[in-house]
Amino acid sequence: MIEANDTGSSTRNACKLCAPLGACLAFKGIEGAITLLHGSQGCSTYIRRYMISHFKEPVDIASSNFTESAAVFGGAQSFSTALDNVIRQYRPAMIGIATTCLSETIGDDVESFIRQYQPPPGLPAPELVKVSTASYRGTHSEGFMDSLRAVVEALAQPGTPIGGTPKSAWGCLGGCVRSGHPKADLGVPQEPPGGHINLLPGMVSPADLRYLKELLADFALPATLLSDYSDTLDGGAWSEYQLIPPGGTRLEDLRRMGSALATVEFSSTFEPARTAGAHLEHYCQVPLHRMGLPMGVSRTDDFMALLARLSGRAVPAKHVEERQRLIDSLADAHKYVMEKRAVIYGEEDLVVGLAAMLSETGIVPVLCASGGRSGRMRGALQALAPQLADATVMEGADFADIEQAAGDLKVDLVVGNSKGYAMARRLDRPRRSDRPCNPRPGSPGRALLPWAARRPLWPAAARCRCCNTRSSSARCRPGTGGWARRGLSP
């Protein structure tokens, strides 16, 4: 494995985004929630601009708007004023509070600010959930995952095993108890174990979230999806502006997460003990099933088998048929892509998922790179397929490092988000995949997860190769598959 910046060189065009951006995405998927960034205004402006570019939806992010004096003497007053303004203007059910590099660097004690805070008289007090997101400590993925954990710590209440000891007796109120939050009332009613599960899919697209909800409904398996931004970041047109867009995971469902039958969490590179699922398992005794993103036939099979076991039902016929269609399209197209050499870059979990999927098609991932530094990417890749043991793995990489390594490895195809566009052009290689994809409208509507959803991406990779070497006629394009596969209806 190569640690790209071990040489001490500066970062040139980072292959990651800032940690509070991940927090904003996570909080965006909670009903009635708004994010407040504790720090300088530029951070919220940058993140708003970035998210709006990708999702093409309005994104409001509040800021405590540090001045010079706040940067020197601390941001307690700015924080309190910001909370007052947000509560008056938005009347949120929850405020997700994420720290920025500046407030982390000066060491603001935000938890004590929260304990001392009194909402404006006459207005309902929202839930206040705080997450520490210094960008110099982590990536946007880590900001996202840490925010889910903070939400679960603050809101999830333990269930009561039938005939057993209430789980709160084991100290399960997580963040509420530790922060002294008003919810830390051991008298809160205990939920009996429910027939529902928790699904924590990580940073996937709104289309993926919709696909997962449809899949769970097909298994007749009630589930709390955390976090669900499928409507808030990919909703329909409004006749009137909504301060907080409708949709998201409901707070009452978040509170029930501690009494679920099981938690299913997609992550193969994030620190296992730090996830929301680990908290629910450790403090609320909710069994945890952790797996990588279900991309690739094999991993999707594992996910379907797990859902079948949890629901007590066979995999629904429509999904079995979809799997057959996917296998057929793989067989049709493998001759175009067999042994083509690919560089894959992006978030670590996504890189691992894409490598799993592409290696099933015959493409050889020769370079897997990420700006993250979990130290787990190589292990996760090797666990997928023995042939991936030969791939060059770069952690902590920037685009300059990736471009240099890709040039040396003579790759045929570049797979990753649109920030690698310039690199792909200089390498004179086609690029596919689009998270984030700023210039292209519609990218939130593209899915990468299970069988049906993956068909659009993988033939696109094959087409990329095909069109670069042969005519652009649809007849020679794997995956276009005639009307049946392209879909002509809206």
- Positions that interact with ligand SF4 (CB under 6 A): 18, 20, 43, 46, 100-101, 135
Q: Which residue is nearest to ligand SF4 (CB)?
A: 18
d(CA 465, CA 479): 12
User: What does the block give as tokens for 409?
Assistant: 């490895």
Where helices occur in 56-109 by DSSP H, the ranges are 68-73, 76-90, 101-106
| Residue 94 CB, nearest approach to ligand SF4 (Å) | 21
Query: Is the Cβ of residue 71 or residue 188 nearer to ligand SF4 in the bound state?
Result: 71
| Residue 45 CB, nearest approach to ligand SF4 (Å) | 9
Using a 10 angstrom Cβ sphere, with 0-12 exposed, 13-18 middle and 19 or more buried, the burial of residue 199 is buried
DSSP state of 9: P
| Residue 24 CB, nearest approach to ligand SF4 (Å) | 10
Query: Is the Cβ of residue 43 or residue 406 nearer to ligand SF4 in the bound state?
Result: 43
Query: Is the Cβ of residue 1 or residue 71 nearer to ligand SF4 in the bound state?
Result: 71
| Residue 20 CB, nearest approach to ligand SF4 (Å) | 5
What's the Cα-to-Cα distance from 315 to each of 53, 304, 321, rounded to whole Å?
A: 37, 7, 10
Using a 10 angstrom Cβ sphere, with 0-12 exposed, 13-18 middle and 19 or more buried, the burial of residue 371 is buried
User: What does the block give as tokens for 110?
Assistant: 């935000």
Query: Is the Cβ of residue 60 or residue 214 nearer to ligand SF4 in the bound state?
Result: 60
Query: Is the Cβ of residue 49 or residue 410 nearer to ligand SF4 in the bound state?
Result: 49
| Residue 44 CB, nearest approach to ligand SF4 (Å) | 8
Query: Is the Cβ of residue 14 or residue 306 nearer to ligand SF4 in the bound state?
Result: 14
For the CA atoms of the chain, what is the radius of gyration? 23
3-class state of residue 197 by DSSP: strand
| Residue 435 CB, nearest approach to ligand SF4 (Å) | 19
Query: Is the Cβ of residue 63 or residue 224 nearer to ligand SF4 in the bound state?
Result: 63
Which helix (H) or strand (E) segment holds residue 399: the answer is helix 399-409
User: What does the block give as tokens for 400?
Assistant: 């300059």
Query: Is the Cβ of residue 108 or residue 228 nearer to ligand SF4 in the bound state?
Result: 108
Find all residues with CB under 8 Å of 331, minimum gap 6, and list them.
none
Find all residues with CB under 8 Å of 305, minimum gap 6, and list them.
315
| Residue 82 CB, nearest approach to ligand SF4 (Å) | 16
Beta strands in 296-396 (DSSP E): 341-345, 364-369, 392-395
Q: Are strands 262-266 and 288-291 parallel, antiparallel or unpaired?
A: parallel
d(CA 21, CA 301): 32
| Residue 19 CB, nearest approach to ligand SF4 (Å) | 7
| Other beta carbons less than 10 A from residue 173's beta carbon | 24
User: In Å, how far from its chain's centre is CA 312?
Assistant: 28
Query: Is the Cβ of residue 392 or residue 438 nearer to ligand SF4 in the bound state?
Result: 438
| Residue 51 CB, nearest approach to ligand SF4 (Å) | 12
User: In Å, how far from its chain's centre is CA 386?
Assistant: 27
